[in-house]
Amino acid sequence: MATLLGFDYGTAKIGIAVGQSITGTATPLITLRSVHQHPDWKRIGGLIATWQPTDLVVGLPCDIDGNETEVSGPAKRFARQLEGRYHLPVHMIDERLTSMEARQLLQRRPKNLDELDAIAASLILETWLSEQL
């Protein structure tokens, strides 16, 4: 059984979820705001220390046609930084439509948009887990 963390990367905030390989499910954890236009590495490090994941999964922003977007480059850089800082395998997966799916799952208006980012991170992670079976 492996524990993984999933990330819905954005330049202003990052949704984070935790998942288990044995169940193939993920749970939204938190959305972290950027600190001086950089990821909140202190809090990300704290989550990694707490959950001790074996792998990390980062969503790759793509448009409806599957083409990379303007946020794809920064998301790839974030993935490389995660791998370099925490020495864990980092996987990227197309995150197309996860935010829309997160809204549908809520079936209500989110309390705040941060809630959607953490749910989107769980969808990203569950998609990756389902593709590993």
The yes-or-no verdict on residue 63 having pLDDT over 90 is no
63-87-121 Cα angle (round to 5): 35
Among 100, 79, 105, residue whose Cα is nearest residue 91: 79
Assess whether pLDDT exceeds 80 at residue 88.
yes
- Provide the mean pLDDT of the chain: 89
CATH at residue 17: 3.30.420.140
Q: Is the pLDDT of residue 104 over 80?
A: no
Residue-level pLDDT at 5: 98
Enter the pTM of the model. 0.89
| pLDDT category of residue 113 using cuts at 50, 70 and 90 | low
Instruction: Say whether pLDDT at 69 is over 60.
Output: yes
Residue 129, CB half-sphere, CA atoms under 13 Å: how many? 26
| Structural domain count of the chain | 1
| Residue with the larger pLDDT of the pair 71 and 97 | 71
**Nearest to residue 10, comparing CAs of 129, 104, 121, 101?**
121
Residue range(s) defining the domain that contains residue 59:
3-131
